[in-house]
Structure 1
Amino acid sequence: MRSPSGAERPGASAPPAELRAEVGDRLGERATLVQFSSAFCAPCRATRRVLDEVAGLVPGVAHVEIDAEASLDLVRRLGIVRTPTVLVLDAAGRVVRRATGQPRKADVIAALGEAV
């Protein structure tokens, strides 16, 4: 998934236990879109709308939003330096894509192709 200012990081990697614990039972059957946001981030609100819409369109996909300020240990462990940051997890919960900035709907759908 590409975003206007974010770099993609291909290749599945196991998430830290803290991410698995944070997502918990909200993991999607086929894939999960994990969004790290902050309270006063305008692009985060727009990203939330895009990810909610995609999760509603693609069966088995869930959208989980995490407050970056409330989860600073996890943010540091994952190397998240700005919001929004979106992680695409496969059905097993492995990170398969990562992007920062506000994504386009088409890019999110394309990134899900790698996860499912």
Structure 2
Amino acid sequence: MDGRKAGGTLDAARLGAQLGDRATLVQFSSAFCQPCRATRRVLAEVAGMVEGVAHVEIDAEARLELVRSLGISRTPTVLVLDAAGRVVRRAAGQPRTADVVAALGQAM
């Protein structure tokens, strides 16, 4: 995770999925994105290790309005939300597991 902060709040209705009790990892992907597959594995693994953390993957092409409103310009892009749905971290590109865990630590 590149450490950039990003404001804004997302709720379950806007995401189309339930938020985690403690934090949510939101991944914007596209069908032919190779790094998106690896990112999916990393985020699912971390969400499985940390209680109360959800992983939500969003098809960027199917949700263009949301992508535009959040300023997503490439896939994969990962947003880390706190329990209230506030975007506390944002990173583009394939993240490392250690970086995701560190970002979650700041969100919880």
Q: What's the TM-score once normalised by structure 2's chain length?
A: 0.93
1:9 lines up with 2:4 in the alignment:
yes
| One-letter amino acid of the counterpart of residue 56, structure 1 | G
Percent identity, aligned pairs only?
76
| One-letter amino acid of the counterpart of residue 4, structure 2 | R
Q: CA deviation at 1:105?
A: 0.2
3-state SS of paired residue (2:66): helix
Residues 55 and 72 (structure 1), Cα distance of their counterparts in 2 relative to 1, 3 Å cut = same
What count of residue pairs does the alignment treat as equivalent? 107
Deviations 1:21-77 (A, max 9, x none): 233552000000000000000000000000000000001000000000000011011
Q: Which has the higher helix share?
A: 1
Quick one: distance in 1 between partners of 2:103 and 2:61?
26
Q: Which runs of 5+ in 1 are unaligned?
A: 3-7
Q: What's the TM-score once normalised by structure 1's chain length?
A: 0.87
| One-letter amino acid of the counterpart of residue 39, structure 1 | A
> Does the 8 Å contact 2:17/2:56 carry over to 1?
no
| One-letter amino acid of the counterpart of residue 102, structure 1 | Q
